A and B are shown apart, each in its own frame.
Chain A
Amino acid sequence: MKHIPTLFIGIAIVLGIYSYGFIDPHLSFSSHPFYLFIQNALVHLVYRQSVTAAALYVCIIVGLFAAYGMIMQSAKTEKMKYFPRWMIWGIGILLVSYPAFSYDIYNYIATAKVTFQYRENPYVMMPIEIPNEPMLSFTRAANKVALYGPAWIVLTSFPYIVGAGNMLATIVSFKTFTALFYTAVTYLIYRKTKRWDQVMFFALNPLILIEVLVSGHNDIVMMALGLAGLLLWNRQGMQYKAAGIILFISSVLIKGATIALVPLFFFPRWKWEKKMLVAGVLMFGVFLLSPVREEMYPWYAVWWLSCIAFVPIRKHSFIHWFSFWLSFGLMLRYVPWIATREYGGITPIIRVIATLVPVLFYLLYRFRKNVKHLRAPWKK
């Protein structure tokens, strides 16, 4: 247990450095010769030796999940009394990493720029319609109007203003902004459960760390507001209930997925754990339906992981270990893309296999264990 934090931080540093290999060719954050030397070496690795880069990515993911699993295992035996301070270092490292695995953060910034700099309606104007906009050279999906709800666009005004027009500062401010909501969800889990193992289950999950702190996805903002809304709704007093409704509506107006949690408002007598279990199942249902709209993106797992974290972790807890292995499988979805740099071809099918294999192995293991468990009393 002693060396696990060191292992975790070490891998986070490797991930932070490795992420800069994915930097867009049209983007550079510094002209310092040392920075350029490192960036060129990493870009060469990622773009020219993509299979090696994919292998390195697998090593990082396996390392992170192994460390996470060990922490979760030891959390059961050793009583965790305090929040490990090394976690703050980990968060800091991941915040300054490059958003390697998704271009969504550029989309958020481009939409904020259309709204707050050009003062145009982002639901009418596409970023591509603004000629000579420097961001267009590295923004994907620039030919789409705003993809997120108005609450998100209003919220992005804060990190956009803090970024003050500097691309690096804007990326870091957007990531810091989502990190604040990651901290908020972590705090809510602690406040409601008072159990560090549940906090660690959420806060140290490599999928959460990568999708929220590295890629800066706004799903965590939606979940933070939705969960805070439900918590406030549970409290006595009209002012809390009104605040809860406002927060929950804001959450729905970010991405819409939390609309699935509306039924929970009609069961005030349910215990919080039960509510969160049902919330996890509902959000998992929306997650499973996501391919109907587009694709099962790994960051959609933030929806149900943040609900499941409120459910007490019991011995051999199925949902928590299932979440662990599914998170692992979802993080492996990036492997074929890193190896081939292709979205088409065999990439989609390998993605499905990479996601399902760890989960199926776990289900098989559970099934065998349950069969043995059933046999045991009979053997006696």
Chain B
Amino acid sequence: MKHIVALYLFGILLLATPLLVRAEYVLPYPSYMPGNKHYKISRFIDKIRQPFYFGNLSSYKYHLSLADKYLVEAKTLFEYKQYLLASDALARSDSEFAKTTQFLLGARQERKDISAFVRQLAQASALHTEILLRMNEVLPPSYEWKPEKSDAIQLSIADMVRESVMVRKNAVIRLR
């Protein structure tokens, strides 16, 4: 009987405990990849969309969305061993991620409450870092890319990934 009562009380306690629901930061699905006929159009649209995102917080959203998009592009290309194209996409993602901070600082100067966006950026930074570190485990530290009609290019992938992680860390630190 005691066990039944204990189980019942435990059940009640379990139901009464509020469930904490956390909205995880989610990256987008991969978009068009280099070589696809829509890729250039997609990149062009990314550029012409910029003036539409006026305002510091809107610009922050724009640059973070591009940082996400290009990181997913880089990850997919690395998985397909397209190291040169992947490095380019990763560099673009880094550049976009770095820009987010300046817009959030601009918003703070305008006395806008940016706490929610800082939290979001920290989540994005954590997720980006996690993906980068996971990629680093399977990728070669360096790679010699030999294009068909030009000289070979030495890609130091490990350094690149380390650099990308630093960009993300610094972006969050700058906002503290």
Contacts and interface: CB of A to CB of B under 8 A. Distances in A.
A115 B116 CA distance: 20
Contacts of A130: 112-113
Contact of B53 (A118, A119, A121, A131): A121
Contacts of B112: 118, 130
A131 B58 contact: no
Contacts of A124: 52-53, 55, 58, 61-62
A91 to B, nearest CB: 37
B154 interface: no
A131 B57 CA distance: 12
Interface in A119-140: 119-121, 123-125, 129-132
A132 B110 CA distance: 15
A145 to B, nearest CB: 10
A119 B54 CA distance: 8
Contacts of A129: 57, 116
Contacts of B52: 121, 123-124
Contact of A125 (B57, B110, B113, B115): B57
A220 B118 CA distance: 42
Contacts of A125: 55, 57-58, 61
A129 B104 CA distance: 14
Nearest to B117: A129
B46 to A, nearest CB: 15
B68 to A, nearest CB: 15
Interface string B150-174: 0000000000000000000000000
Contact of A131 (B55, B62, B110, B113): B113
Contacts of A132: 113
A121 B52 CA distance: 7
Contacts of B62: 124
A119 B106 CA distance: 12
Interface string B51-70: 01111111001100000000
B113 A121 contact: no
Interface string A168-208: 00000000000000000000000000000000000000000
23 contacts: A118-B55, A118-B110, A118-B112, A119-B54, A119-B55, A119-B110, A120-B54, A120-B56, A120-B58, A121-B52, A121-B58, A124-B58, A124-B61, A124-B62, A125-B55, A125-B57, A125-B61, A129-B57, A129-B116, A130-B113, A131-B113, A131-B116, A132-B113
Interface of B: 52-58, 61-62, 110, 112-113, 115-116
Given A121-B53, A129-B57, A131-B113, 15 more contacts: A118-B55, A118-B112, A119-B110, A120-B54, A120-B56, A120-B57, A120-B58, A121-B52, A121-B54, A124-B53, A124-B58, A125-B57, A125-B58, A129-B116, A130-B112
For the complex of A and B, the 10 pairs showing the least CB-CB separation, nearest first, are A120-B55, A124-B58, A131-B113, A121-B58, A120-B58, A119-B55, A120-B57, A121-B54, A132-B113, A121-B55
